[in-house]
Amino acid sequence: MQWNNWSILLSEVLEQFSIGAFIIIGGVMLSGKLCFGQHDRVMKVLPFISWLLIASLLIREASLMAFTSSTSMTNSNTVVFVLVFVALTLIYSLCENRLIGKDGSRKLIIGVMLLWSIAYVINILSFSANAGHVGYMIITIFSIGFGGSLLAHAMLVKAQHKVDPLNIALPLFGTLISVIIFIVACLDLTTLVEQTQTGLLLPFIWRMVSMGCLIAATGLWLMSLLTKTKPVLAILACACTLAVIASLTVNGSF
């Protein structure tokens, strides 16, 4: 993989983490489990998803303009999905902050955003399948499922949510995904080891780094369950950083 592809990969990882996080948070908001105060605090952290998506678009477009020879697989449709999602987020924030429309109407906007997020996931998975990039599909599932759930948990902790089952369900769900991804990553490890004998070292190095970061991120996420304490935002933030690194480096090993 060429070094100038890493910035485009970073933009895709940020997109997928953000969309995955909203699927979790949007579902929680529609569930009615949040009281008025919790809902208000979640609304204050929700723009973080929009900022991440805007940052991903800026990184992507700057990279494509700067490196016209980039060989990274890109899906131009994702730009449309992200722009529409950001617009819907701004509309929902305006309606919620100004109390425009009825509560049911505002929930309808969240429902539309959830459907749009699911359509985004289907689009990138089908794009990868049609292009024959099975490895990219696995990476996408990891970024959206594991990374999105982890980011959502961190944002909910920041918002001081009181839905205690989430502090158990989200880490266990993320652990399940990480175990699946770890097993898949080990399947072609023998091939990567054989490549090192011909002087091709980087794929094996990137795979080891990604697997190490995945294990570390999962361990940090599970720490609150193992110690039977409340999740700590700083630890979840460190886990998110490790998850981003894991998602980036595993791209370099395929």
Q: What is the pLDDT of residues 4-23, one digit of tens each?
A: 577 888 888 999 999 999 99
Please tell me the pTM assigned to this model.
0.91
Answer whether 104's CB lies under 8 Å from 162's CB: no
Angle, helices 189-196/202-227, rounded to nearest 10 degrees: 140
Q: How many CB atoms lie within 10 A of CB 188?
A: 16
Q: What is the pLDDT of residues 231-244, one digit of tens each?
A: 999 999 999 999 99
User: How far is Cα 142 from Cα 76, in angstroms, rounded to an integer?
Assistant: 21
- Cα separations in angstroms, 76 against 120, 150, 163, 254: 12, 26, 38, 21
Q: What is the pLDDT of residue 25?
A: 94
User: How far is Cα 218 from Cα 236, in angstroms, rounded to an integer?
Assistant: 10
